[in-house]
């Protein structure tokens, strides 16, 4: 059979693998009934390389205007177009980004671009192509049984694998090792059948991901480069030819990848596309991720309602942390911080509603201190004295509340409310104050009802309580009210 070399791959790929979209789709359905190589050949099925397969399915999705990676938020105009180009051009990819930027999720989502099932020789450890086997066992099997060799169908989930790179990762883990049991059975060390295949060969004709690539020892990186570029590897002095068809994807932190020189140059050069991920650039995207990923609360005991401004405060806390000089920016502030804070905020509101016997759980500003434990664990502080971390978090919360308040209201339009406090009124609030107390406050304080309408057109009693606390805290942060903490409660006064 005439063969054609891929321009970026020294492995030889049969010309028959290249098949048009229209021709391939109709034949795959009939081919799945095949149980032997002969039946598969008679069906007219023509296998594609992994990269050609992904390119074909990507083109089909783009033509149909389908969402490529559901659940990936904020990358529509940045990361996704770069990823599409890399797949269309058949390039291996490395994702660079700080923690919590959906690198692993993006990599796992690539499986949606593979076919539902592909045929492989039954029992093959490395999922050999029935028409072009590369392992000794399958070549011997075809030599003896010909086209009557049985095949099986492999699902896309079985064709994906990943490995977290650690300093103790070995060539045996990734590539393979001599199996002493097979040697004991009488095989020679030079016999290819003595090899126990590692993770990468076992994901032949699929996708293999290496997370935190810089943590691999240099000698392991050399072996990885060898199998990606030269398609061979030496195991115990035996040179094994492995023309694998595998799409190798990696992830890394930019600091480790670019600054510390922990990636060997040939391996870095092997990756065709270096795609930089990022944190959500708009508050709306951060909120969408929070709502999408947070654990749901049942509405049986109390209905959960979260006002938009409370969602914005949680998102703003994380965004401010990403710019704070007190937080280590090299490690980043994960989106998981926003998710955990949001879950904690709702949990405290839910706890209050259950204890007070209320039917609605609505987060308030007085619930925000409870997010300190969940947020502090997500931050790496920069030159902050021991015991001062909580003060940094408190400052982030205050700045976030002030920022969001000034988006919705101005202190000057609440002057009627401030006058009441100047005349001697003081108000106590807490995370355990019943909702009805806040409803009474609205009736007592002139001007408060107009401000409520700007936050929510038809507020429920629970939302009213949340709005009142938000307004009082905003006036304090704008230096219109004083604030004291007394016996676990907060007192606002003129």
pLDDT at position 445: 84
Statement to judge: residues 190 and 157 lie in one domain: yes
For 334: left if phi > 0, alpha if psi spans -120 to 50, otherwise beta; the answer is beta
Distance (Å, whole) CA 231 – CA 272: 17
Statement to judge: residues 27 and 62 lie in one domain: yes
Concatenating the DSSP letter of every residue in 402-461 gives: HHHHHHH--GGGGHHHHHHHHTT-EEEE-TT--HHHHHHHHHHSTTHHHHHHHH-SS--H
Q: Is pLDDT of 190 > 70?
A: no
pLDDT band of residue 166 (cuts 50, 70, 90) is confident
Mean pLDDT on 70-80: 92
Long-range contacts from 229-238, C-beta under 8 angstroms, 24+ separation: 229/10, 229/266, 229/270, 230/10, 231/10, 231/11, 233/171, 233/175, 233/176, 235/171, 235/175, 235/176, 235/177, 235/178, 235/195, 236/177, 236/178, 236/189, 238/178, 238/189, 238/190
Statement to judge: residues 186 and 310 lie in one domain: no
Q: Which of 243, 276, 309 lies at the terminal end of a domain, its last residue? A: 276
Mean pLDDT on 272-285: 92
pLDDT band of residue 40 (cuts 50, 70, 90) is very high
CA distances from 172 to 97, 135, 168, 199, 242 (A): 28, 17, 11, 9, 15
For 279, residues 6+ apart whose C-beta sits below 8 A from its C-beta are 98, 100, 101, 286, 322, 332, 333, 335
pLDDT band of residue 234 (cuts 50, 70, 90) is low
Q: Is pLDDT of 66 > 60?
A: yes
List the single range of 342-351, 364-373, 387-396 with lowest mean pLDDT.
387-396
Q: Is pLDDT of 82 > 80?
A: yes
Statement to judge: residues 356 and 252 lie in one domain: no
Mean pLDDT on 471-489: 90
Q: How many residues does the chain have?
A: 494
* Residue 297, token pair as written in the block: 């609360």
Statement to judge: residues 219 and 295 lie in one domain: no
pLDDT band of residue 298 (cuts 50, 70, 90) is confident
Within 10 Å of residue 185's Cβ, how many Cβ atoms? 10
CATH code at 12? Answer: 3.40.50.300
Statement to judge: residues 358 and 251 lie in one domain: no
Q: Is pLDDT of 386 > 80?
A: no
Strand partners, 490: 429, 485
Statement to judge: residues 271 and 330 lie in one domain: no
Expressed as residue numbers, the domain containing 67 is 3-276
pLDDT band of residue 218 (cuts 50, 70, 90) is confident
* Residue 7, token pair as written in the block: 């321009």
Higher pLDDT: 310 or 218? It is 310
Q: Computed over its alpha carbons, how large is the radius of gyration of the chain?
A: 30
Q: Is pLDDT of 13 > 50?
A: no
H/E segment holding residue 489: strand 489-493
Statement to judge: residues 310 and 210 lie in one domain: no
Distance (Å, whole) CA 485 – CA 483: 7
- pTM above threshold 0.85: no
The separation between CA 404 and the C-alpha centre of its own chain, rounded to angstroms, equals 27
pLDDT at position 332: 85
pLDDT at position 191: 66
Mean pLDDT on 35-43: 91
Per the structure, the count of domains in the chain is 2
Helices assigned H by DSSP within 257-412: 265-270, 283-293, 308-321, 335-356, 372-376, 389-408
Q: Is pLDDT of 144 > 60?
A: yes
Mean pLDDT on 283-299: 90
Percent of the chain topping pLDDT 70: 87
pLDDT at position 270: 81
Statement to judge: residues 243 and 383 lie in one domain: no
Higher pLDDT: 403 or 416? It is 403
Statement to judge: residues 288 and 272 lie in one domain: no
Statement to judge: residues 243 and 291 lie in one domain: no
Q: Are strands 303-304 and 360-361 parallel, antiparallel or unpaired?
A: parallel
Mean pLDDT on 205-234: 81
CA distances from 284 to 43, 103, 274, 281, 332 (A): 50, 20, 27, 9, 20
pLDDT at position 14: 34
pLDDT band of residue 19 (cuts 50, 70, 90) is very low
What is the C-alpha end-to-end distance of the chain, expressed in Å?
A: 90
Distance (Å, whole) CA 131 – CA 143: 12
Q: Which of 276, 303, 336 lies at the terminal end of a domain, its last residue? A: 276
For 337: left if phi > 0, alpha if psi spans -120 to 50, otherwise beta; the answer is alpha
Residue pLDDT, tens place only, 311-341: 999 999 999 999 998 888 888 899 999 999 9
Mean pLDDT on 399-417: 92
pLDDT at position 348: 95
Q: Which of 276, 296, 315 lies at the terminal end of a domain, its last residue? A: 276
Statement to judge: residues 56 and 173 lie in one domain: yes
Mean pLDDT of the chain: 85
């Amino acid at each position: 059979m005439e063969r054609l070399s891929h321009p970026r791959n020294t492995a030889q790929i049969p010309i028959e693998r290249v098949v048009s979209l229209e021709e391939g789709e109709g034949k795959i359905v009939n081919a799945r009934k095949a149980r032997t190589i002969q039946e598969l050949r008679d069906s007219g099925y023509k296998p594609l390389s992994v990269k050609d397969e992904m390119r074909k399915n990507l083109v089909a999705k783009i033509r149909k205007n389908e969402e490529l990676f559901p659940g990936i938020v904020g990358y529509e105009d940045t990361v996704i177009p770069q990823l599409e180009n890399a797949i269309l051009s058949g390039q291996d990819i490395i994702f660079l980004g700080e923690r919590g930027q959906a690198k692993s999720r993006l990599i796992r989502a690539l499986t949606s671009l593979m076919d539902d099932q592909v045929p492989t020789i039954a029992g093959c450890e490395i999922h050999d192509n029935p028409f072009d086997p590369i392992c000794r066992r399958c070549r011997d099997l075809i030599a003896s049984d010909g086209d009557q060799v049985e095949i099986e169908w492999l699902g896309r989930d079985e064709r994906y694998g990943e490995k977290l790179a650690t300093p103790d990762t070995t060539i045996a883990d990734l590539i393979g090792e001599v199996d002493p049991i097979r040697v004991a059975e009488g095989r020679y060390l030079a016999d290819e059948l003595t090899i126990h295949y590692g993770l990468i060969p076992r994901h032949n004709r699929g996708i293999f991901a290496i997370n935190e690539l810089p943590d691999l020892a240099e000698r392991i990186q050399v072996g990885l480069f060898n199998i990606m570029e030269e398609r061979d590897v030496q195991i115990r002095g035996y040179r094994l030819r492995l023309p694998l068809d595998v799409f190798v994807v990696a992830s890394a932190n930019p600091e480790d990848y670019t600054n510390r020189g922990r990636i060997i140059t040939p391996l870095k050069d092997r990756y065709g596309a270096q795609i930089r991920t990022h944190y959500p650039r708009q508050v709306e995207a951060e909120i969408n991720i929070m709502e999408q990923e947070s654990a749901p609360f049942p509405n049986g005991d109390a209905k959960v309602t979260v006002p938009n401004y409370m969602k914005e405060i949680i998102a703003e806390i994380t965004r401010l942390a990403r710019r704070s000089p007190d937080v280590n920016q090299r490690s980043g502030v994960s989106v998981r911080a926003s998710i955990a804070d949001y879950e904690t905020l709702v949990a405290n509101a839910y706890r209050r509603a259950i204890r007070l016997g209320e039917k609605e759980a609505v987060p308030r500003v007085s619930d925000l201190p409870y997010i300190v434990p969940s947020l502090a664990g997500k931050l790496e502080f920069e030159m902050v004295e021991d015991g001062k971390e909580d003060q940094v978090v408190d400052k982030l919360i205050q700045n976030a509340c002030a920022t969001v308040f000034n988006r919705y209201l101005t202190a000057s339009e609440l002057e009627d409310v401030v006058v009441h406090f100047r005349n001697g009124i003081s108000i106590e609030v807490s995370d355990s104050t019943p909702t009805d107390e806040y409803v009474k406050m609205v009736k007592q304080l002139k001007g408060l009802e107009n401000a409520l309408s700007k936050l929510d057109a038809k507020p429920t009693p629970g939302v009213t309580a949340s709005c009142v606390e938000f307004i009082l805290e905003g006036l304090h942060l704008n230096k219109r009210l004083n604030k004291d903490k007394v016996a676990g409660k907060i007192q606002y006064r003129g």
